[in-house]
Amino acid sequence: MTEQDFTPKSYTSNVESGSVKWESPSNIALVKYWGKRESQIPENPSISFTLSNCKTITEVTYTKKEGTDFSFDVIFEGEKNAAFKPKIQTFFERVEGYLPFLRDYHFKIETSNTFPHSSGIASSASGMSALALCLMSIEEQLTKNVIQSESEEFQNFNSDFFNKKASFIARLGSGSACRSIEGELVVWGETKSISDSSDLFGVMFTENIHSNFQNYQDAILLVDKGEKQVSSSVGHKLMYGHPFASKRFEQAHENLAELKEVLTNGNQKRFIEIVESEALTLHAMMMTSMPYFILMKPNTLKIINKIWEFRQSTGSNICFTLDAGANVHVLFPEDEQKKVYEFIKSELVAYCQNGHYICDTVGKGAKKLA
Ligand code: PMV
């Protein structure tokens, strides 16, 4: 598929108003996306577990308006929020060619997260995917009406097309958001080992996932709840002219190809090695860019060492991964839930800010609520 497949014919709809509502989860990458080209095209492929408890719930109410400017209000957790407006304005500008109704309506965007605000958890993946899904549902409502009233041949809104275009639109808001529409595992970025993979949208990992990796658990340890030290758009730019960039991009293709085998053959040892190495490589890229950053905190390292000791002494299959920040995602199989949560409570909570952590598990993707 190409960008053109997502460009509808221009249309005028006589729908005056309506509303739609979606919830969409966050995701955690196992092979990391870090580095992009123009229009949010990733420099390398990535794969993530879709989460289920950390999600954004968004309702968009639309009303026909005069004039050609974009018009929208954002209400975040019950209060009007001006801080999100520039990001959404830029997003609308980027996607209007694919959603031609954006200038015809006023949008009231009411949104909230299930995870605490300023927990240091990036809400862009869940937030942008929820908004993209709402806009897709609006397009579906508007074009259904056009088809009925003018019996015009229009785009086919089957669920496969709907999800692909939702992922495509979400990507233009925040790259990793394109991996939140479906679950349990989603690949984004063209790579030889995944036949239908694309740079334009995420695709579900359709191989048989070994029972060792089903219902995987993710305990998110909140080490630092502050604002991110480096925004991801600044972070991705650090890969331009980075001395190790091309080798890193190559490595991501190799790790994804091997992880595909591991996820189907159940090899937990290699899973742990690939996932932890990916997390540390992401941080190594930031430490070796110019300017350079250390995004881990002393407690991040303490937690990592504790996880290694626990794995060594108990034979557990626990491992960690990191996003572009100090928080630690502790990954483990479902059948180790009891012992790992005991370990977290007795040994790791002390390193979390205010003792906070979030228990999550792998999920199946976004849900339409209304
Ligand atoms: O989607 P962005 O632009 O916020 O980038 C996110 C990148 C990482 O979270 C660090 C890795 C990933 O693949 O999710």
Give per-residue pLDDT as tens, 140-156: 999 876 655 544 445 55
Pocket flag, ligand 1, residue 171 (CB < 6 Å): no
Looking at ligand 1, which atom is closest to the CA of residue 175? 1
* Å from CA of 122 to ligand 1 middle: 9
Pocket flag, ligand 1, residue 186 (CB < 6 Å): no
Of all protein residues, the one whose alpha carbon is nearest to atom 9 of ligand 1 is 323
pTM: 0.96
Distance CA 346, CA 339 (A): 11
Distance CA 285, CA 288 (A): 5
Distance CA 302, CA 281 (A): 18
Q: Cα 17 to the chain's mean position, in Å? A: 30
Pocket flag, ligand 1, residue 176 (CB < 6 Å): yes
Pocket flag, ligand 1, residue 29 (CB < 6 Å): yes
Is pLDDT above 90 for 229? no
Higher model confidence: residue 84 or residue 120? 84
pLDDT digits (tens, 9 = 90+) for 251-262: 999 999 999 999
Q: What's the chain's average pLDDT?
A: 94
Looking at ligand 1, which atom is closest to the CA of residue 27? 14
- The answer to whether residues 268 and 212 touch, using CB atoms and an 8 Å cutoff, is yes
pLDDT of residue 118: 66
* Å from CA of 144 to ligand 1 middle: 35
C-alpha neighbours within 13 Å on the C-beta side of residue 236: 18
Residue with structure tokens 């975040």? 76
Ramachandran category for residue 89: left, alpha or beta (phi over 0 → left; psi -120 to 50 → alpha): alpha
Residue 182: closest CA among 161, 208, 202: 202
Q: What does the pLDDT average to over 49-66?
A: 97
Is pLDDT above 80 for 120? no
pLDDT digits (tens, 9 = 90+) for 272-331: 999 999 999 999 999 999 999 999 999 999 999 999 999 999 999 999 999 999 999 999
Single-letter residue type at 249? F
Is pLDDT above 70 for 4? yes
Band (8; pLDDT cuts 50, 70, 90): confident
Is pLDDT above 60 for 127? yes
Band (338; pLDDT cuts 50, 70, 90): very high
Of all protein residues, the one whose alpha carbon is nearest to atom 4 of ligand 1 is 232
Whether the ω angle into residue 190 lies within 30 degrees of 0, i.e. cis, is no
Length of the chain, please?
Answer: 370
pLDDT of residue 343: 98
Pocket flag, ligand 1, residue 281 (CB < 6 Å): no
Looking at ligand 1, which atom is closest to the CA of residue 324? 10
pLDDT of residue 156: 59
Element (H, E) at 25: strand 17-31
187, 236, 353 from 131: Cα distances, Å: 21, 23, 30
Q: What does the pLDDT average to over 173-189?
A: 98
pLDDT of residue 155: 53
Report CA torsion sign: 265, 268, 274, 278.
positive
Residue 121: closest CA among 322, 297, 279: 322
pLDDT of residue 152: 47
Element (H, E) at 286: helix 268-287
